[in-house]
Structure 1
Amino acid sequence: MPQQFTSDTYHSLCDEVASLDPDLKNIITKYGYPPFWSRPNTFESLVHIILEQQVSLASALSALNKLRERTGEITPARILLLTDEEMRACYCSRQKTAYIRYLAEAIIAGLISLTAFEQMEDAAIRQQLTALKGIGNWTVDVYLMFALHHTDILPLGDLAIVNAIKRLKGLSNKTSRDMLSAIAEQWQPYRTIASMLLWHFYLSDRKAKA
């Protein structure tokens, strides 16, 4: 079973990964510790991550809140009762409506179990989830980091993470993903924690410039 972090171990792990890289240590020195970003291991959390694909966090949250209002509780069974029109009224695109339904059907059919995922390795979880239409590596990465709290995930499909590494390390915008991945090897086995620091740096730096 992969190593996990908790709210109790979070700051000590931030310190540990920061000890591996002075640039990460500087983030803590300048901006403090990142928030403990966490979500429950639920169907709703996965729906939320699907809604966040390629849109702003605010837009995704608006759609999630609309779904909550419509269903009372976002569960696979209740989602499958909604019509296309009702999903559209909740700001869900046709594509994301399909993706959310595929996920709901897979859970109801027993093809995947979120509870079982809590005892499984990253690769096995990734294999099961990416077999579902509309769930790619970025969605799985965020789920593993925020819901299952696995410590060694690097979401290079996330533009903010990519830009944060380039800015922190003074790299060219043309720096390849392979090069970024190689740089991140020094953060193992705490690449999730490093990513939290990078998100914190990206958001804090942008806020300071604004």
Structure 2
Amino acid sequence: MDDRLFARSVSELTAHDPDLAALVAEHGIPPLWLRPPGFASLVLFILEQQVSLASAAAAYRRVLERVGTMGPEPLLATTPEELRVDGVSRQKDRYLRALAAAVVTGELDLAGLDALTDDEVRRALIALPGIGRWTADVYLLACLGRADLWPVGDRALQVAAAEALGLDVVPDQAALELVGERWRPHRSTSARLLWHGYLARRGRSETPLIVLD
């Protein structure tokens, strides 16, 4: 997805969906949040699991300052104790080292993911410790630019959908899957619009896109 396709999908969604049209009228259109595909983005996504964007970004920057270049070999050259000082938990340290080792050994071919289908990418990523459906989906959406991704495991997206649609109950993953059906084949764009509204309603200025190097 590029800026032109993003703008077109926003136009199509808002022309046919009054809830998204109202969301855009109130909060505007977000930038096309993208991250470069590759190891560094996966590191950041792992750090973002179950913590705030700001907390994960701070830990990422500390690790980056330590290693110089966010690559698998420099990361493997660190010790768990060093990364703990940088704000990386023991569990996430294991996940990051497993990712780095998979890239070094060729078990995970990051460069080849773009040629795979969404489900094939999910299988390749979820095979690694610490990478589940959420991490795989946001990588597909933000790094590979897939147009119809719907990360049902994202708590902010669940809350944002409830707020935008006036739902009495925040949908769980199964319910959010059904909610998203109305926005096919533009669910990646609808997710971006909902996230933007979620952040705007809370007066938060952070962006899912940070400098990775």
TM beyond 0.5: yes
Look up the match of 1:16. Answer: 12
Alignment partner of 1:141 is 2:131: no
Q: 4+ residue stretches of structure 1 with deviation over 6 A?
A: none
Alignment counterpart, residue 46 of structure 1, candidates 28, 37, 42: 42
Look up the match of 2:58. Answer: 62
Look up the match of 2:26. Answer: 30
> Cα offset for 1:19?
2.4
> Cα offset for 1:17?
2.1
> Cα offset for 1:18?
2.1
> Cα offset for 1:205?
1.6
> Aligned equivalents of 1:70 and 1:131: distance in 2?
28
> Cα offset for 1:174?
5.5
> Cα offset for 1:127?
0.5
Q: What residue ranges of structure 1 are gaps of 5+ in the alignment?
A: none
> Cα offset for 1:178?
2.6
> Aligned equivalents of 2:170 and 2:139: distance in 1?
28
Alignment partner of 1:107 is 2:64: no
> Aligned equivalents of 1:72 and 1:177: distance in 2?
38
> Aligned equivalents of 1:206 and 1:151: distance in 2?
27
Alignment partner of 1:89 is 2:97: no
When the two structures are superposed, what TM-score results if normalisation uses the length of structure 2? 0.91
One-letter amino acid of the structure 2 residue matched with residue 162 of structure 1: Q
The secondary structure found in structure 1 opposite 2:139 is helix
Look up the match of 2:159. Answer: 163
> Aligned equivalents of 1:73 and 1:165: distance in 2?
37
The secondary structure found in structure 2 opposite 1:173 is coil
- Give deviations 1:169-205, integer Å, cap 9, x for gaps: 1112264433332121010011110000000111112
Structure 2 contact 159–171 (Cα < 8 Å) conserved: no
One-letter amino acid of the structure 2 residue matched with residue 141 of structure 1: D
User: How large is the Cα RMSD of the aligned pairs?
Assistant: 1.4
> Cα offset for 1:153?
0.8
> Cα offset for 1:42?
1.7
Structure 1 contact 20–187 (Cα < 8 Å) conserved: no
Q: What residue ranges of structure 2 are gaps of 5+ in the alignment?
A: 205-213
Look up the match of 1:173. Answer: 169
- Give deviations 1:90-124, integer Å, cap 9, x for gaps: 11110000000000011111111111011110100
Question: Percent identity, aligned pairs only?
Answer: 40
Alignment counterpart, residue 190 of structure 2, candidates 185, 194, 210: 194
> Aligned equivalents of 1:42 and 1:174: distance in 2?
33
Structure 2 contact 153–173 (Cα < 8 Å) conserved: no
> Cα offset for 1:20?
3.1
Alignment partner of 1:72 is 2:68: yes
> Aligned equivalents of 1:21 and 1:174: distance in 2?
20
Structure 1 contact 31–201 (Cα < 8 Å) conserved: yes
Distance 1:159 1:123, change over 3 A: same
The secondary structure found in structure 1 opposite 2:32 is coil
Look up the match of 2:208. Answer: none
> Aligned equivalents of 1:124 and 1:20: distance in 2?
31
Alignment partner of 1:184 is 2:180: yes
> Aligned equivalents of 2:167 and 2:28: distance in 1?
24
> Aligned equivalents of 1:85 and 1:178: distance in 2?
39
